[in-house]
Structure 1
Amino acid sequence: MNGIIIRVCAAGLFIAVAHALTCYKCDVGFGSLCLTTEKMCAAGEQCFSGEAEAAGFLPIKTKGCLKTDLCNKTSESTVGDSNVTVYKILKTCCSTDLCNAAPGANALPLLPLLLASFTSLCMVSVAV
């Protein structure tokens, strides 16, 4: 009887792990740039995408896993132990694998291109 119970528990654990939600994770992104990795969420979590605007003009993005009861709510980000709110962020959730979409393919090649251009300009100004 104990063997059957152990097998049922093991099968349940396997199914739970096999059906864990995979989401994109980005701790903090600015503008359209949010470098992502993939993360497996824990039980009771969903994928989320968060968007805010710091100082009234700087777009901030974040992605990852979030407890379901915190989904679709606005939270405040403060400085240290103070009560000064830096920005308010709305975290919107979804419940399918990788549903908190990664940045578009055209957002990532822009950074290396800008760095290469800047380096070329520096080299030309030094050579002259």
Structure 2
Amino acid sequence: MNKFLWICAALMGLFVTGESLTCNTCTVGITGKCLFTSTETCDNSTPHCYWGELVFNISSLVRVQLRGCLDTARCNQTEADSLLTTGYTITRTCCSTDRCNGATSLQLHLTAALGTALMIVWSTWSQ
């Protein structure tokens, strides 16, 4: 029975590591508050969560917050560009755990939770 539990634990570990990253999204955020929030599942081309801040050069008071999935090359970078002759700077910071870019509470994967519950039940039966 002990070998069976270890095999189940190994299989559950494979399922947990094979899941895609889930990130918070914020398409428009002003003064630190997102107006339109949701979540998205990242793919292989954008494997990191990020939070970013866009600041217009004309006034540092105009700051726009952004969140979502991002590719590795643009992680932890600051870029400067312009939009209709107005310059701006955008800084993006990346992280690599589920909803690490602004989640208010720790979320446990359903797979890990079910695996833990099954292991507890099986361990009590084997005694």
For the superposition of Structure 1 and Structure 2, which TM-score range results when normalised by the shorter chain?
Answer: 0.5 to 0.7
- 1:17-42 Cα distance to aligned partner (Å, 9 max, x none): 95100000112211122131000001
| Overall identity of the aligned pairs, in % | 36
Greater than 3 Å deviation, 4+ residue runs? 15-18
AA paired with 2:100? C
Give unpaired runs (5+ residues) of structure 2.
1-14, 105-127
Residue 46 of structure 1 deviates from its aligned partner by 0.2
User: Does the aligned pair in 2 maintain the 1:63–1:100 contact within 8 Å?
Assistant: yes
Letter in 1 for 2:77: K
Which structure's CA Rg is the greater one?
Answer: 1
What is the correspondence of 1:61-72 to structure 2 with a 5 Å cutoff? 61-72=65-76
Partner SS state of residue 32, structure 2? coil
1:82-125 per-residue CA deviation (whole Å, 9 max, x = no partner) reads xx34310110000000000057xxxxxxxxxxxxxxxxxxxxxx
Shift of 1:16: 9.5
The separation in 2 between residues aligned to 1:101 and 1:27, in whole angstroms, is 13
Given the alignment of the two structures, is residue 26 of structure 1 paired with residue 30 of structure 2, yes or no? no
Q: 2:55 aligns with which of 53, 57, 60?
A: 53
Name the count of aligned residue pairs. Answer: 87
Q: Which letter maps to 1:27? A: T
Q: Deviation at 1:52? A: 3.0
So what's the TM-score if we normalise by structure 2?
A: 0.59
Matched residues in 2 for 1:17 and 1:40: separation?
Answer: 14
Unaligned residue ranges in structure 1 (runs of 5+): 1-14, 104-128
**Residue identity opposite 2:69 in structure 1:** C
Q: Secondary structure at the match of 2:60?
A: coil
**Which residue identity does 2:52 align to in structure 1?**
G
The code of the aligned residue for 1:39 comes to: E
Structure with greater contact order relative to length (CA < 8 Å, sep ≥ 6): 2
Residue type at the aligned position of 1:56: S
Name 1:119's counterpart in structure 2: none
SS in 2 for 1:101: coil
